[in-house]
Chains A and B, each alone.
Chain A
């Protein structure tokens, strides 16, 4: 099987997953809309017909407000799921890297919260357009965010994403305030991209896949240490991927 055919099969598989997920998110949105109208109707009927001095009145109205807030919360989650699913529609599209970074950072927020690490994104309001694979770009950025979170101590540190153009590339910088691992990261990435590699026991397989995916996307990964505490992972994506 040629590499082109393998890529085509993988794109179709990812597209299938995206299609099913988008369809399910649409169904969830419909059920939320039904719950929203039913709760709204209950509130309308309560406001119209129930005596205000009826003991459970204020308790019921408070509960309805709480349900409405949870519907809005769920709708926002489903919106993120739907956007993520649509990132799998096509392997190559024109995309705004700023917007994509904002989306994937939002998806990673829960992972940061669970670790007690602050996750922030600093992107300019204007677009940073590139032609590329939104799903795989998100996969790589998420992978490096996750590793940055692991390096951080809970409740003390933060991870920041910065997005900027750089000549004919676009960069996403993942900065963390965790323990410095520059040498180890550089060694791992170089080994993953080298034909000889290093012995399987010493290779971090997930990091290797991230490095190989970056290479397949035509991009590169550079590592910088930031003082005694912190690392800077610079992901450079070509403005036009093939």
Chain B
């Protein structure tokens, strides 16, 4: 059984599909959403310790989704994914309450380590 549940949110379907499968192969329970609105709906239906959230998405942007998650699910830890070379969005996200941020393309081992820390923080709150 998975130690924690992860919601993966990104508008790139192939990215979500491949990364979800990689995480599942490592025994992690993963759910996914392809936009911010669907992510918020999933969070109402089910509890997640960790949300992996892309910053740049059409419709509801990642930082706005982060704001709403922190207001309705303060224990859920959010790790942001940014495609930019700059860390501007990541730092802004940290100010809004994100647990951490990762820059795409992501190293899976680094992501796993951060998710583990985030899940621990979610359980402690």
Contacts and interface: CB of A to CB of B under 8 A. Distances in A.
A40 B86 contact: no
Contacts of A83: 85-86
Contact of B15 (A33, A48, A71, A82): A33
B15 A30 contact: yes
Contacts of A26: 56, 83-84
Contact of B18 (A32, A34, A48, A71): A34
A45 B25 CA distance: 9
B18 A41 contact: yes
A66 to B, nearest CB: 15
A41 to B, nearest CB: 5
Contacts, number: 64
A28 to B, nearest CB: 9
Interface residues of A, number: 27
B25 A71 contact: no
Nearest to A79: B85
A75 B105 contact: yes
A61 interface: no
Nearest to B11: A30
B22 interface: yes
Chain A contact surface mostly: helix
B85 A33 contact: no
Given A26-B56, A44-B22, A48-B25, A36 B106 contact: yes
Contact of A30 (B12, B18, B21, B86): B12
A236 interface: no
Interface in A149-202: none
Contacts of A102: none
B86 A33 contact: no
Nearest to A42: B18
A164 to B, nearest CB: 26
A71 B86 contact: no
Contact of B12 (A34, A71, A80): A34
A102 B82 CA distance: 23
Contacts of A86: 85-86
Interface centre among A34, A35, A36, A78 (most CB of B within 10 A): A34
Q: Nearest 6 A-B pairs (CB), nearest first? A: A82-B85, A79-B85, A36-B105, A37-B18, A33-B104, A29-B83
Interface of B: 12, 14-15, 18-19, 21-22, 25, 56, 83-86, 104-106, 108
Interface of A: 22, 25-26, 29-30, 32-38, 40-41, 44-45, 48, 71-72, 75, 78-83, 86
Given A30-B15, A34-B12, 7 more contacts: A25-B85, A33-B104, A34-B14, A37-B19, A45-B25, A82-B85, A82-B86
22 contacts: A26-B56, A26-B83, A26-B84, A29-B83, A29-B104, A29-B105, A32-B105, A33-B12, A33-B83, A33-B104, A36-B104, A36-B106, A37-B19, A37-B105, A40-B18, A40-B108, A44-B22, A44-B25, A72-B105, A80-B85, A82-B86, A86-B85
